[in-house]
Amino acid sequence: MNHNVAGRKFGRTANQRKALFRGLICSLFERERIETTVARAKAIKATAEKLVTFGKRGDLHAKRVVMSYIPNRAVVAKLFAEIAPRFAERNGGYLRIVQTRQRVNDRAPMAIIEFIDYAALKAGKSASAEAASETPAAEKKEAKAKKPSAPKKEKAAPAETTEKKPRAAAKKKADAGE
C-alpha cells in the first residue's frame, strides 16, 4: 500500500530523484529560466521557492541550509546577492510555470519555469545594452552598407572568366584540327 506518500517518483530511486531536483534547481538559479517537463517543474517549484526564502533571510544558518541542497558555491552566492534581494518585498510566489509545447520525441508536455520578474529583468538589460551601444550600432550599419559593394565586384570577375573559357576551347579545337 502507498498511504501518505507524497510526491512523484519519476521512475528513479530516492538518490537519483534528489540529484535530479538538485540539478534542476541549480540550473534554475544559475540561468533564472529553464525548460523542462511540466511534472518536473511542478516538483521543484516548492523547494526552489523555499530556498529563495532562505536566501531572503541571509544569515549564516540560511546559507548553510542552501549549501546543503545546492553544492555550487557560485550559484548560492548569486542566490543570496542577486535573486533574493529582488524579492525582499514579496512573500512567496517567486516562480511561474508556463506550459509551452509537447516534446517531439515522446510528446511529453514541456514547460518553462522562471522567476516572475524574468521578463522585466530581461527587458531592462536589453534597454541598457541598447543605450550603451548606440554609437557602435551606427558604425555597424555603415560597415554593413559597405559590404554589399564588395560582392558586386566579385560578380563582375566571374563574368570575365566566362569570356576566357570559350577562347581557350577554340584554341584547343584549332590545335586538334592541325
Q: Among candidates 80, 39, 45, which has minimal Cα distance to 62?
A: 80
Q: What's the mean pLDDT in 70-80?
A: 95
Superfamily of domain 14-132: Ribosomal protein L17 (3.90.1030.10)
- Where are the chain's structural domains? 14-132, 135-177
Q: pLDDT at residue 148 above 90?
A: no
Q: Among candidates 124, 94, 108, which has minimal Cα distance to 11?
A: 108
pTM over 0.85: no
C-alpha 79/C-alpha 77 separation (Å) is 5
Least confident range of 12-16, 38-42, 112-116, 125-129: 125-129
Do the beta carbons of residue 26 and residue 70 sit within 8 Å?
yes
CB atoms within 10 A of CB 9: 10
Q: Among candidates 61, 54, 119, 124, which has minimal Cα distance to 92?
A: 54
Q: pLDDT at residue 153 above 90?
A: no
Collapsing DSSP to helix, strand or coil, 98 comes out as strand
